[in-house]
Amino acid sequence: MKVKKLLDSFNYAIEGIIYSVRTQRNMRIHMTVALLVLIICFFYDLSRAEILAVIITISMVIMAELFNTAVEFAIDATTNYYHPLAKISKNVAAGAVLITAINAIAVGFIVFGDKLEYINFIVIKKVRSTSPYTIFIILMVVCIATIGVKALFGEGTPLKGGMPSGHSALAFSIATTIALITGQLAVVVLSYLLAFIVAQSRVDSEAHSVVEVVYGGIFGTLITAFLFRIFG
């Protein structure tokens, strides 16, 4: 029962994110920029502190936009007429988003400013030698992209149903990452077998259809292979 409640809480939280992406233009802009920045990270030899700064900054901007959306809906639900305090509340929430956006620009200038003087495609030689940062960023890109696609299709819930299957996408992304790093047949077969078991479990539990699982696997595999292929 406790596990179910925990899963439900995650489901509601992700559902809120997907709803914001689906209905809020600014959230779609923020998510798109976040994906681009994460991909750009592959082009530069960033330190651990720089990667941490980028991730925290992205999280702050998205959180601020989520709070702003929540405030707007809460006010609209309780006020059906113009009220100056309602206007002030919305403006203050929007101001919070603006501050985080300005901070993001500042962080981006500090982290990438000196590196933009020349295009440095070092990154992906490191993919084969693979640092944990590379894998982490790839998985983040797959997760964000999957949420975006789910928002576009507008079917199911974040952790159950909908196109594509997030579990399948992430499982096959991990399997593809392992396959590209190791190149050992036994490890590759085992990795994809485990991914297949994850995908099959989603069908058996009736959380997804076979088509949704297949598309999820293809989606996760292609994005991961694309990132490794371009930068590798």
Tell me the CB-side half-sphere exposure of residue 102, using CA atoms within 13 A: 6
Let me know if 15 is a catalytic residue.
no
Evaluate whether 139 touches 174 at the Cβ level (below 8 Å).
yes
* Candidate list 15, 65, 117, 155, residue with the active-site label: 65
Active site residues: 65
